[in-house]
Amino acid sequence: MKLQQLSLFLENRPGQLGAPLEAIAAEGINILTLSLADTAQFGILRLIVREWEQAKQIFEQGGWVVKQTEVVAVDVLDRPGGLASALAVLEAAELNIEYMYAFSLRRDDKAILIFRFEDPDRAIEVLLENGLHVVETEELMRHVG
Amino acid sequence: MSNQDPDWPSENRIWNHSAETLPREEIEALQLERLRAMVERVAKVPFYRDQFEHAEIGPQSIRSLADLRRLPFTTKDDLRRHQPLGFLAVPRKELARIHGSSGTTGIPTFVAYTAQDLRTWSELCARFLVAGGLRPAHTAQVAFGYGLFTGGFGLHYGIERVGAAVIPTAAGNTRRQIDIMRELTPEVLICTPSYALTIADAARELGIDPATLPMRYGHFGGEPWTEDMRREIEDQLGLQAFNNYGLSEVFGPGVAGECPLHEGMHIQEDHFIVECLDPETLEPVAEGEPGELVITNLTREATPLIRYRTRDIARLYREPCACGRTTMRMSRVTGRTDDMLIIRGVNVFPSQIEEALLRVEGTTPHYLIEVDRPGTLDEVRVKVEMRPEIFSDRMDRMQALCEHISREIQTVAGIRAHVDLVEPRSIERFVGKARRVLDKRRLSD
C-alpha cells in the first residue's frame, strides 16, 4: 500500500533541477508527481515514478545522491475541506506527518495527498480504519495515465 | 630611562631613548650578552637541555651572534607536545600570569609570565604606543579581546605604563563602543584593523560620520591587513593608523611597531633577536627579501623561546630609520608558511575544521573551506559534499546536519562558519594533497 518515492539532493542554483529530470525523460520515464523543498542554498527534489528502480539507477549513475523512501498516498474529494478531513484523522491518532504534498486530478474530481510518515504502516492502519482510501501505485498510474 | 615628562611636545617621541637609539654595535653587544644568559636559563627546560646536551652546546658556545645559528629551532608542534607549561624556565610559584593562544586541537598553547615579564611586556607596548602618538594625557579605548588572548591585557598595561588612561571596553557591542567614544573622547583606539572598519560602518548606520569620532591615533594588530585597509581606516575614521606585531608565544604584542614615518615596524632588538630565513633551506634570506621570521627571546623569564619559527612571512630592513631609532625594521606580515588562517583575529588551522567534520559521520572526504571578507569582517563557509550516508529526504534533518557541523566547528576552532551542503563531485579533486582552503580575501599588497 506504500509508494516508493525518490529524493534527490540538489544545489539551489539555476539549471540544477533540469538535468536529473532530463536524464529520466531520456529513458521514457514519466513523473507522476513531484515536490521540491528548498533553502537558499540547497533543495530536496522528491518524485514518484512508476519505474522507480530504473530511475534510481539512472540518478546514481548520473552522480546524484538519491534516497528511496516509502510514502503513503490518500485520495480525497477535490473540494473545500477535503484535505482537512484527512488531516483530522491523522491528528486524532497523533500521527506525526514529516511532510506532505498534494496534487489534484481534475478528471476524477479528486485530490491525491502524498504523506511522509515516520511509521507508514501504522498510518495506513489508521487511515483505513477511518474509511479513507489509500491509493496504491497501479491505481495512481491509472488515475494519472 | 623612560620619559616621564608630562608635557611631550614632539610628534616623534621616543619612549625609551637609550634602548631605542643604541648604536648598532652596542645593540649587538647587548644581544650577545643576553643571548648567553638566555642559553644558560633555558638549559633548565627539558626540551632545550636535551638538545643542548646532544649538540654539546652551552653558554660558552655563544661567542658571537652568528653562533645563534648553532641553536635548535622551536616550533609550534614542540610547544604543543610539551603542554601545559613544559617550557617553563622558572618555578611555577614565580608565575604572575598565564595566557594562551589558539591551537589546532582547540586546547590553547599556554604561555606564562613572571612579574618581571609583565613589566617587560608593558615596556615593549609602551614603546610602540608612544611611537604611534600615545601621550600621558591621553585616553585610549581598548576594543581588543581581554582574556587568554594577549592583545587586550598587553596593550592595557602598556597604556598604563605610559601614564595614559585606559577605557577597557574589550571587543564587541559596537554601538556601545561608539557611545563611549562620543562620551569620553579617547584620542587613541586599539583593536583589530577589521574591527576598526566595523566601527566606522556601525557609526554610519547610526547616522554619525565616523570621521567625527574623537580618535586621532589607532593601533591595529592581531590579524594580517594591507596598506589599502590602512588608507580606508584612516580616511573613514580620520585618524593615523599604526601597525604593530607580536605573538603570544614570544610575549604578545610588542615585538615590533611603527613610528610616525610608517616605513616598517621597529623591532625591539634589546628583547628579541629576529631572523628572516628561507623556510625550506632555513638559511638567511638577503636583506629586504621575504622569509620566515624566527624569533629568540632575550629577556623573557617564564617561558622564553629560542629560535621560534613563527611561520609568518615578512621582510627585514637594517638601514636606520629617519625617526632616529636605530633598531632593525620589519615589513608587515604578508603571508604564512603553513596553512593557518586568521579569522577575525582567531587563529584557525584547516585541520581543526577537518577534526570538527570527523565528529559528524560521513562528512569528511570532500570539503572546502572558503574564507572571504565581503564587508569588513571575515566570513567562513565550509562546503561539504553530500553523500548518501548523510542525505535525508527530510528538510529538518538536513538543516540539523548543517547546524551540527557548524556547532562542532565552533567547539573545535572557536569560529562561526556557514555550512554549505553541495552536490557530489562539485569540489575540485586534487592528485596528492587536497587543496582545502580557498582564501578569497585580498590581503597581499
Give B398-410 as a 3 state SS string.
Answer: HHHHHHHHHHHHH
- Of the two residues B190 and B411, the one the predictor is more confident about is B190
Q: Could B393 and A67 be called an inter-chain contact, meaning their C-beta atoms sit closer than 8 Å?
A: yes
Closest partner CB to B391 (pick from A5, A39, A67): A67
The CA–CA distances, whole Å, from B81 to B87, B376, B414 equal: 10, 36, 21
Closest partner CB to B423 (pick from A9, A46, A67): A9
pLDDT number for residue A43:
94
Min Cα distance A107 → chain B (Å) is 30
Residue (of B413, B425, B427, B399) closest to B359 by Cα position: B413
The CA–CA distances, whole Å, from B119 to A3, B125, B161, B251 equal: 75, 10, 9, 11
The pTM for the full model equals 0.71
Model confidence at B271, pLDDT cuts 50, 70, 90, reads very high
pLDDT number for residue B103:
54
| pLDDT at residue B18 greater than cutoff 60 | yes
The verdict on A67 touching B (C-beta cutoff 8 Å) is yes
Chain B residue with minimal CA distance to A37? B395
Closest partner CB to A67 (pick from B388, B396, B421): B388
β-strand A110-117 against A66-77: which pairing, if any?
A: antiparallel
* Model confidence pLDDT, tens digit, residues B150-190: 989 999 999 999 999 999 999 889 999 999 999 999 999 99
Model confidence at B337, pLDDT cuts 50, 70, 90, reads confident
pLDDT number for residue A64:
94
Burial of B176 (0-12, 13-18, 19+ CB in 10 A): exposed
The verdict on A17 touching B (C-beta cutoff 8 Å) is no
**Chain B neighbors of A35, CB-CB under 8 A:** none
Min Cα distance A5 → chain B (Å) is 9
The verdict on B119 touching A (C-beta cutoff 8 Å) is no
% of chain B beyond a pLDDT of 70: 93
Burial of A99 (0-12, 13-18, 19+ CB in 10 A): middle
Q: Do A44 and A36 touch, CB atoms closer than 8 A?
A: yes
Q: Where are the beta strands (DSSP E) in B262-301?
A: 265-267, 272-277, 291-297
* Dist. CA B217–CA B224, nearest whole Å: 19
Mean pLDDT, residues B356-379: 84
Q: Could A98 and B394 be called an inter-chain contact, meaning their C-beta atoms sit closer than 8 Å?
A: yes
Q: Could B423 and A116 be called an inter-chain contact, meaning their C-beta atoms sit closer than 8 Å?
A: no
Q: Which of B393, B394, B395, B401 best tests the A interface by mutation, with the highest count of A CBs <10 A?
A: B393
pLDDT number for residue B243:
97
| pLDDT at residue B274 greater than cutoff 70 | yes
Q: Could A9 and B391 be called an inter-chain contact, meaning their C-beta atoms sit closer than 8 Å?
A: yes
Q: Do B273 and B280 touch, CB atoms closer than 8 A?
A: no
The verdict on A37 touching B (C-beta cutoff 8 Å) is yes
**Chain B neighbors of A7, CB-CB under 8 A:** 391-393
Q: Could A65 and B420 be called an inter-chain contact, meaning their C-beta atoms sit closer than 8 Å?
A: no
Closest partner CB to B386 (pick from A65, A98, A99): A65
pLDDT number for residue B186:
98
* Model confidence pLDDT, tens digit, residues B19-42: 999 999 999 999 999 999 999 999
Tens-digit pLDDT string for chain A (145 aa): 889 999 999 999 888 899 999 999 999 999 989 999 999 899 999 999 999 999 999 999 999 999 999 999 998 988 888 888 889 999 999 998 999 999 887 777 889 999 999 999 999 999 999 999 999 888 887 776 5
Chain A residue with minimal CA distance to B425? A63
| pLDDT at residue B264 greater than cutoff 70 | yes
| pLDDT at residue B107 greater than cutoff 80 | no
Q: Could B388 and A37 be called an inter-chain contact, meaning their C-beta atoms sit closer than 8 Å?
A: no
- Of the two residues B260 and A142, the one the predictor is more confident about is B260
The number of helices, as runs of H, and strands, as runs of E, in chain B is 11, 21
Q: Could B395 and A64 be called an inter-chain contact, meaning their C-beta atoms sit closer than 8 Å?
A: no
Model confidence at B1, pLDDT cuts 50, 70, 90, reads very low
Q: What is the DSSP string of B168-221?
A: ---S--HHHHHHHHHHH--SEEEE-HHHHHHHHHHHHHTT--GGGSS--EEEE-
Min Cα distance B105 → chain A (Å) is 30
The CA–CA distances, whole Å, from B25 to B30, B31, B268 equal: 9, 10, 15
pLDDT number for residue B102:
63
- Of the two residues B441 and B235, the one the predictor is more confident about is B235
Residue (of B373, B382, B154) closest to B252 by Cα position: B154
**Chain B neighbors of A39, CB-CB under 8 A:** 395, 398-399
The verdict on A65 touching B (C-beta cutoff 8 Å) is yes
Domains within chain A, CATH numbers bracketed: 3-69 (3.30.2130.10), 70-144 (3.30.2130.10)
Chain B residue with minimal CA distance to A117? B394
The verdict on B387 touching A (C-beta cutoff 8 Å) is yes
pLDDT number for residue B2:
43
pLDDT number for residue A92:
92
Q: Could A7 and B391 be called an inter-chain contact, meaning their C-beta atoms sit closer than 8 Å?
A: yes
ipTM, two decimals? 0.89
Q: Could A37 and B395 be called an inter-chain contact, meaning their C-beta atoms sit closer than 8 Å?
A: yes
* Model confidence pLDDT, tens digit, residues B33-75: 999 999 999 999 999 999 999 999 988 999 999 999 999 999 9
Q: How many CA atoms lie within 13 A of B142 on its CB side?
A: 24
Domains within chain B, CATH numbers bracketed: 17-338 (3.40.50.12780), 342-439 (3.30.300.30)
- Of the two residues A64 and B106, the one the predictor is more confident about is A64
The verdict on B392 touching A (C-beta cutoff 8 Å) is yes
The verdict on A44 touching B (C-beta cutoff 8 Å) is yes
Min Cα distance B392 → chain A (Å) is 7
